[in-house]
Amino acid sequence: MIFDWLDEQKIPELTKSERLMGVLFDLGMATADQLEVITGWSKRQLKDAREGIRSRGKSGEPKAEEQLLHQVVKQVRSIADGEVPVTENQLQWIRNGLRALAKSEVKKDEWLRFYTTFQREVIIYTLGSQGNRYVADLMGRTLGSYRELSPGQRLHTLGITEILVRLLRAGIRPRQWLNTRETTDRLKRMREKWNMEPDGQGSWEVKREYIGPHILPDASVQIEDQWYWIEYDRGSKTGEKIRDQLDQYIQLRAKLGKTIDPVVWVTPNVERTEELRDRIYPKVLAKYPESFPVPTMYFFTEGEETELFVNGEGKETAEGVAGVSGEAQSSEEIQRIQEERDQMEEQVQELQTELERKESRIEYLTRMVEENQRGKTEWEDWTRGLMEHLQNQQGGFLSKVTPGQALEEYMQNNKLPGE
């Protein structure tokens, strides 16, 4: 569905903001760089689309909030620099302004939210509760309760999206890219199809109820006529859980009695890849007899999986048996494939070198844009903190603290952004 959102011929009535909302609805969340690659839009187009989404939560004049923020920051700077004396009226005006800004930000966050990574180096965008509900209404779907993802879940979601981004950067545009929900729906339809038989009256009926593992792949991708299931593993799952997950794919293959799509496992580092491929997976296979059919499994470190898709390996799905990775090939066939792979690797390396030069320029320009955004975010955080600090001085054992002393204490403990 993700590429349908961007197809102006298939869905001509959507605005760019609505298209971006649809893309984020399918991805879950994404960085500005990822969105640029997936949409093919310029940074300016993406910025306008993001602002269009957040503007749905604005109230009053479009520029009113920006003007208020500017006035609050200007007033705080004047007080901090000693240009004007501190009065209770001034502090109350700052409090009221900050309350209004905070209320407005909450409304806009209900449509489009943004987070930063732990080092505050990358901005992550995701739909809020209103944004998700709006897209669900467009699709005619019922949306469950909204919940925020944990930092670990955010990194997992971004890692899945990056697999798609690497494909697009390598010049491979999938025919389809399905998220977990869409992949699960497709798998359900596959199970139903495999369990149908003619009823003798020109129709079909379910011949038996499916009883077996209900796996939830992280995503699936169709390249030309070949489908792949994708599992992104950050190493956060215990050995037992990952063994169960591997085992479920084998049981699914056995339960259906049909060849299933190859499963592509992607991990963030070589150590985790080797652990899955060389230690955990062999232990799972050891439970089955050698003649037991198992699905084809691939294990890659981030970035290596792209070669599988670029070279087209697995288009003819190879069924394996326990302890065997696919069908045996003659030495001549292996040599031919190796030569073709070497040629492709040289071409990929040349393209990668050219891409890195262009990415360094893009990275510089992106950093400039994000620095401006971080500066605004830091000022908003600083002023919200000031509001909370001033409110805390109005009662209890700190009630004798004057507004000037409260401001001075906050300034000592919280430097102005940019200093």
Cα angle value 158/163/168 (rounded, 5°):
120
pLDDT of residue 44: 92
List alpha helices for 87-231, DSSP H: 88-109, 129-139, 151-169, 180-194
Q: By the 8 A CB rule, do 37 and 168 touch?
A: yes
pLDDT (tens digit, 9 = 90+) per residue, 128-180? 888 888 888 888 877 766 677 777 888 899 999 999 999 999 998 999 999 98
Q: Is pTM, for the whole model, over 0.85?
A: no
For 198-214, what is the mean pLDDT?
Answer: 53
- 318 has a pLDDT exceeding 50: no
Give me the amino acid identity at 26: D
For 43-55, what is the mean pLDDT?
Answer: 89
pLDDT of residue 264: 94
Between 64 and 50, where is the model more confident? Answer: 50
Q: Which of 82-86, 88-92, 395-399 has the lowest mean pLDDT?
A: 395-399
pLDDT of residue 9: 87
Q: Which of 216-225, 248-257, 264-273, 299-308 has the lowest mean pLDDT?
A: 248-257
- 50 has a pLDDT exceeding 60: yes
pLDDT of residue 347: 66
pLDDT (tens digit, 9 = 90+) per residue, 299-314? 999 999 998 888 865 4
- 221 has a pLDDT exceeding 90: yes
SS (H, E, C) 216-242: CCCEEEEECCEEEEEEECCCCCCHHHH
- 208 has a pLDDT exceeding 50: yes
Q: Which of 10-14, 76-80, 314-318 has the lowest mean pLDDT?
A: 314-318
For 328-353, what is the mean pLDDT?
Answer: 57
**pLDDT grade for 258, boundaries at 50, 70 and 90:** confident
Of 405, 406, 374, 372, which Cα lies nearest the Cα of 388? 406
Between 115 and 146, where is the model more confident? Answer: 115
- 388 has a pLDDT exceeding 50: yes
Between 355 and 322, where is the model more confident? Answer: 355
For 75-88, what is the mean pLDDT?
Answer: 72
What percent of the chain lies above the pLDDT cut of 70?
63
Q: Identify the top-confidence range among 92-106, 117-131, 231-245.
A: 231-245
Q: Identify the top-confidence range among 126-140, 189-203, 371-385.
A: 126-140
**pLDDT grade for 364, boundaries at 50, 70 and 90:** low
pLDDT of residue 319: 43
State residue 5 phi and psi, 5-degree precision: -60, -30
Tell me whether strands 293-294 and 320-321 are parallel, antiparallel or unpaired.
antiparallel
- 201 has a pLDDT exceeding 70: no
Contacts 24+ apart (CB under 8 A), 63-69: 65/101, 65/104, 68/97, 68/100, 68/101, 69/101, 69/379, 69/380
pLDDT of residue 239: 75
For 87-115, what is the mean pLDDT?
Answer: 72
Both structure tokens of 285: 């296979």
Where does residue 31 rank: exposed (0-12), middle (13-18), buried (19+ CB within 10 A)?
Answer: buried
CA–CA separation, 289 and 292 (whole Å): 5
Between 212 and 131, where is the model more confident? Answer: 131
